[in-house]
Amino acid sequence: MKYTRFSKNDKLDYNLVFVYEDKLSGVNKSIGCSKALKDIKKAVSQKLICGKLGSMEMIVSTMYDSNYFLIGLGKKSELTIQKFEKYLSSVIKKINKYDIGKISLDLSDITIKNYDVLKGSIIEFEKSNYNFKNNSINHLKECFIKVPNNITKKAFDDTKRISLAIAHGLNTARKLGDTPPNICNPTFLARESKKLEKLHKNLKVEVLDEKQMRALKMGSLLSVSQGSTQPAKLVIIKYTPLKNKQPIVLVGKGITFDTGGISLKPSPSMDEMKYDMSGAGSVVGTMQACAEMNLKNNVIGILACAENMPSGVATRPGDVVKSMSGITIEILNTDAEGRLVLCDALTFSKKYKPKYILDMATLTGACLVGLGKYPSGLFSNNSTLTQKIKKSADVTGDRVWELPLYSDYFDELKTNFADIQNIGGRYGGAITAAAFLANFTKDEKWAHLDIAGTAWESGNDKGSTGRPVKLLTDFVMTNK
Ligand code: BES
Ligand code: MN
Ligand code: ZN
């Protein structure tokens, strides 16, 4: 899609205008043409337009010969990023069903604290272009965006460029997540990552196979792929345009299908465990965005890819394995496999002398139970890093909620048969999982995002959300 800064002489046949239920009289501000304004004011007075959250009315201005979609955003003071993006995306979906090629979008009266509304809107438009089966035709080709006057042409173009890079990365993450698990296996993730090398001369992809991982003594990661015919892969995506600068390392859980292994999962909704590689998908998407926007920062992505299957050669509950760090692990539940692949990837990542390490993982059902689908769970051993992540979440609307890492949780991982066990007690499962990982990142500034509730939608709108690509791209852009 094409995005053009709206200038006052532009006249479009179709126009998107936002209205607030408590500022209905203010609707005049957004309508450039006095003739159309007359029609709209009449519709307001006839109560055809209410501005209620989620309402959408279409007004045909016969006098000005143009059409207006008026999207209600509720009370102005109660507007949030989530509401704005939700109703913008639903109106885009609707318009794409008509044969409408060009529209105008008026953003001049949308202000949400710390939020870049132009960037958010372009990303929503681009998201609407994604469709896994490629079976719907989007008619919309160009959007003329009205922004406040203080946004210059250059600022508009810069935001556009960055937003497109982010949106493309986000859609890549969604595509990888939605790809069926008989296709999207560890080898596929490695191959798709390798394709990124074309984007930028400073982007390099290395893939370690099981033999190389065995040489590195990654006994924990390799124990997960042991029961599968699909070999594990460790993918390293390096985007390092700057000399002598510590990188930010992003580590993603890449379980391409999680059956639970011998601790087999129940069958209902097991298909959704194809999304268990969403952490890795979000890392690929973020790396793509970095390269595409020509980011001036060093970022390294590491994907810990394996398939968790039961079989005659799979690990058993009770098995003890030795991780790359030397820490031995008693596997009490083979379904707690994410932490087993991540711990070795985290240990491996230290060789890059990272400024920060962030890992993203659909790690626990407990996170979903505790926090629901709206925020990702946030855990960290460093308060500065925590604040930085919260800030990126705040400005992008890609929300997080922090959970504690008290030493009590670490005590739950004690066992008589190894250094640690891979599960805690009955309660606080998202936290004991994070505590497990924290054992491997003691000397680093590390944070963990549990995206079990946020990486995909279930039900009729089943599909990957691409989260937390927006958060991660903001993080790497603002922590140079
Ligand atoms: N991938 C799952 C977590 C998950 C489950 C995410 C459902 C989203 C929806 C993970 O590997 C897992 O199975 N975790 C177990 C841990 C338990 C065995 C300690 C869980 O959450 O049940
Ligand atoms: Mn599992
Ligand atoms: Zn899993």
| Binding site membership of 412 for ligand 1 (Cβ less than 6 Å) | no
Inter-CA distances, 80 with 83, 163, 244, 267, 390, Å:
5, 20, 40, 38, 16
Rg (CA), the chain: 24
Distance, CA of 468 to CA of 283 (rounded, Å): 9
Confidence (pLDDT) at 86: 98
Annotated active-site residue 5? The verdict is: no
Distance, CA of 98 to CA of 140 (rounded, Å): 9
Ligand nearest to the CA of 412: 1
Distance, CA of 123 to CA of 338 (rounded, Å): 30
Confidence (pLDDT) at 36: 82
pLDDT in tens, 165-209: 999 999 999 999 999 999 999 999 999 999 999 999 999 999 999
233 Cα to the center of ligand 1, angstroms? 21
**For residue 338, which atom of ligand 1 is closest to its CA?**
11
| Binding site membership of 373 for ligand 1 (Cβ less than 6 Å) | no
Query: Virtual CA dihedral for 294, 296, 297, 302, nearest 10 degrees?
Result: 10
Residue 349 above 70 pLDDT?
A: yes
Residue 239 above 60 pLDDT?
A: yes
Distance, CA of 308 to CA of 318 (rounded, Å): 17
pLDDT in tens, 383-442: 999 999 999 999 999 999 999 999 999 999 999 999 999 999 999 999 999 999 999 999
Instruction: Kindly report the protein residue whose alpha carbon is nearest to atom 22 of ligand 1.
Output: 365
| Binding site membership of 317 for ligand 1 (Cβ less than 6 Å) | no
| Binding site membership of 386 for ligand 1 (Cβ less than 6 Å) | no
Instruction: Kindly report the protein residue whose alpha carbon is nearest to atom 3 of ligand 1.
Output: 364
Q: In what order do the strands lie in the sheet with 320-322?
A: 320-322, 328-330, 420-421
3-state secondary structure of 183: coil
* Probe residue for ligand 1, chosen from 305, 307, 330, 364 as the CB with the greatest number of ligand atoms within 8 Å: 364
| Single-letter amino acid, residue 364 | T
Residue, of 97 and 83, whose pLDDT is higher: 83
Marked catalytic residue, from 127, 265, 322, 391: 265
Residue 347 above 90 pLDDT?
A: yes
Domains in the chain, start-ordered, CATH in brackets?
Answer: 2-151 (3.40.220.10), 175-478 (3.40.630.10)
Instruction: Kindly report the protein residue whose alpha carbon is nearest to atom 8 of ligand 1.
Output: 452
**CA 168-195-343 angle, 5° bins:** 90
Greatest CA span in the chain, whole angstroms?
A: 82
86 Cα to the center of ligand 1, angstroms? 28
Average pLDDT, the chain: 96
Residue, of 40 and 320, whose pLDDT is higher: 320
CA atoms within 13 A on the CB side of 45: 7
Share above pLDDT 70 across residues of the chain, in percent, rounded to a whole number: 99
pLDDT in tens, 13-57: 999 999 999 998 777 655 566 778 888 888 889 999 999 999 999
Residue 278 above 70 pLDDT?
A: yes
Ligand nearest to the CA of 365: 1
Distance, CA of 473 to CA of 480 (rounded, Å): 12
Host H or E run for residue 249:
strand 248-258
Share above pLDDT 90 across residues of the chain, in percent, rounded to a whole number: 90
